[in-house]
A and B are shown apart, each in its own frame.
Chain A
Amino acid sequence: MTRRFKPPRELPTLVLLAAAGLALTATVPAFRTSYNLTTLGKDAAIIGIMACGEGLVILSGGLDLSIASILALSSCVAATGMAAGWPWPLVALAGLLAAGAAGLLNGAFITYRKLPPILTTLATLLLFRYGTSLATHARSYSSFPDKFNLIAKDWNPLLILLAVGLGFTLLTVLTPFGRWLTAMGGNEQAALLSGVPTERVKRIAYLLSGLCAGLAGLIAMAYNNNTQSNVATGYELNVIAACVVGGIAITGGEGTILGAILGALLINLVQDALILLKLPSEQLGLFTGGVVLAAAILERWRKTRQNRAARVQA
């Protein structure tokens, strides 16, 4: 029997991205300016880096709603240190550590206490965001060291996204961790019975998700040269949308990190287009919502077709 060609899950996203990119390059001169492209790259990097971590969590069959709050936490921790005049590499590391600790806390609740991921991260969304807000008295920090702000200069955010994406892709493709992750997302019980340390894999996934959000927080504060506890409110939805748009099945087990990054690029490209075409950028929600639904319907269709094929074979 010949194997039918199965198009990769990222293909629709890639086609849409290429088409939208080409159309904008051809018709809107303002799109081609390096200022616009680097801004777009920065936005895409912030969403994309978070999508890498969120992608791991979703692949494992979980969900992390607290990432935007972790972003605020890490940037405010780093900003407090810089305001106190401590050396920036140390402070940036402290921000990342805080984000990692927040991710670990999520993972601990979900694995040791067996709490449902949606509710746990919903609760920590509130705890991290308003905890940060209370601790900093919602004050606004600005004027960070120039050397620190370099991480968000020109194409640097996009390069960081590439590095993170490459690392995570290798992690999922080459290591047992990656195979365990997708196995768990497909069928957690089966994975557990075949010896996968499911709880540990989950903890690592939430930890990495927290770290990614922390890194995104550092980039966001460096670019704006400013941060506050209410930074990036609501970003978690854009990130989840990026993952789903990029072909990661929301129920877990299927999809790739590359897809999550492509999804992030596409969403930010559309947002950029709305701004360039002088449409209210809040209407991005209509697009995101529509595309998320389309992706879910596509997933559903794929599954019924798979089931039908399996039945025919049997």
Chain B
Amino acid sequence: MSVQERITAPADRPRRSLPIEFGVGIVLLVTILFFAWQRPDFHSTDNIRLLMKQSSELAVIATGMTLVIATGGIDVSVGSVVGLSGMMLAFVATRTHGNLLLACLAALGTGAACGLLNGLLIARGKLPPIIVTLATFAAARAAVQLFNNGGGISNLPPALQDLFDRTNIVGLPILFWIGLLTLVSGWLILRKTKFGRELLALGGNRTATRLAGVRTERVEMMAYILCGLLAGLTAIIVTARAASAEPNAGLYFELLAITAVVLGGTVITGGKATLLGTGLGVLTINVLVSGGRLYGQEDQVARFLVGAALLLAVEVQRARKAT
């Protein structure tokens, strides 16, 4: 036996461990089976279609959040940005007599602009992400009140709801495909592009990444812009589904998105991210909400359970790191 072999004795060899998404996958399976067993309504076609539509909002916003958390940052402003972008969408739609393309572009633009502001202050200004996004969280929610004297805007063209809420592709709701497509694009960006690798490297070790010649400022800024853009897309979905823009649309979205991301196994300190896990996390949260509603409970139970799930997920993540 050579020295080299003795150094890598079996005990030291990295044990092959289960994929990081395994935990959330089990939780999801158990909750689905439980509700399917207890509530026959749960696996009715209508409920599953509704679940797909409901999940799309969170799937889109959680994809952006995954990218931001992968850099080691956090964006707590997304919920407010959804509210603001939705108002902008409705504002443009009513002013242009129902030009949906322009309205949707306005929503995406508003989201991206908020993301750009966050990104500039965080990447260029070197300010802590939690503080910057906390500030934009408060400011964007307040800016919502500048439209229509703080009321909602509801006289939207019906085509908006028809397009997003009632259209099917291959028999499944278009919103399901939007959510899936966003998650897959996020996965492709993270795994298959130079930008994605730089993003993960940045979250792993900022200084080393910068010294390796990566333009870290630009990469970090891009993550926040994408996150804002996806918040704009979420605003389109939310507004279309409700057929109106509400001042408090997107409330708590940041909490749910962060929970979905961490639940899925993305490491909160950055450097490691999984969009498959995020997708499973999003489904878990929505199954809990949907199941809670079938029990005739308000969303309180679901939110309580989401809190417990978050705590559990962080705890599991920590245990994994310790071994």
Q: Is the CB of A122 within 8 A of B255?
A: yes
Knowing A126-B307, A126-B310, A282-B150 are in contact, say whether A119-B268 is a contact too (CB < 8 A).
yes
CB proximity of B36 to chain A, nearest CB, Å? 24
Knowing A122-B310, A288-B138 are in contact, say whether A300-B304 is a contact too (CB < 8 A).
no
DSSP majority for the B interface?
Answer: helix
Of the listed residues B300, B303, B315, the one surrounded by the most CB atoms of chain A closer than 10 A to its CB is: B300
Q: Is the CB of A126 within 8 A of B255?
A: yes
Contact of B74 among A118, A134, A251, A282 (CB under 8 A): A118
Contacts of B143 on A, CB cut-off 8 Å? 285-286
Q: Is the CB of B139 within 8 A of A290?
A: yes
Contacts of B141 on A, CB cut-off 8 Å? 282, 285
Q: Is the CB of B314 within 8 A of A115?
A: yes
Knowing A126-B307, A251-B128, A293-B121 are in contact, say whether A119-B139 is a contact too (CB < 8 A).
no
A123 to B256, CA, bound (A): 10
Contacts of A118 on B, CB cut-off 8 Å? 74, 130, 268
A251 to B131, CA, bound (A): 10
B136 contacts chain A at the CB level, 8 A cutoff: yes
Q: Nearest A residue to B143 by beta-carbon distance?
A: A286
Tell me the A258-294 residues at the B interface (CB within 8 Å).
Answer: 280, 282-290, 292-293
A223 to B53, CA, bound (A): 43
A259 to B121, CA, bound (A): 24
Tell me the B124-156 residues at the A interface (CB within 8 Å).
Answer: 125-128, 130-132, 134-146, 149-150
Q: Is the CB of A114 within 8 A of B318?
A: yes
Q: Is the CB of A109 within 8 A of B311?
A: yes
Chain A window 97-112, contacts with chain B (Cβ cutoff 8 Å), 1 for yes, 0 for no: 0000000000001000
Chain B window 246-271, contacts with chain A (Cβ cutoff 8 Å), 1 for yes, 0 for no: 00000000010011001000001100
Q: Is the CB of A131 within 8 A of B145?
A: no
Q: Is the CB of B304 within 8 A of A289?
A: no
A78 contacts chain B at the CB level, 8 A cutoff: no
CB proximity of B130 to chain A, nearest CB, Å? 7
The size of the chain B interface, using a CB distance under 8 A, is 43
A297 contacts chain B at the CB level, 8 A cutoff: yes
- Which bracket fits the contact residues of A? 35 or more
A215 contacts chain B at the CB level, 8 A cutoff: no
A127 to B255, CA, bound (A): 12
A250 to B308, CA, bound (A): 27
Q: Is the CB of A293 within 8 A of B132?
A: yes
Q: Is the CB of A286 within 8 A of B139?
A: yes
The interface of chain A, by Cβ under 8 A from chain B, is: 63, 109, 113-116, 118-120, 122-127, 129-131, 133-134, 138, 237, 240-241, 244, 250-251, 280, 282-290, 292-293, 296-297, 300
The interface of chain B, by Cβ under 8 A from chain A, is: 74, 121, 125-128, 130-132, 134-146, 149-150, 255, 258-259, 262, 268-269, 298, 300-301, 303-304, 306-308, 310-311, 314-315, 318
- Can you show 8 pairs from A to B with CB atoms below 8 A apart? A114-B318, A115-B318, A119-B314, A124-B311, A134-B304, A244-B131, A283-B142, A300-B125
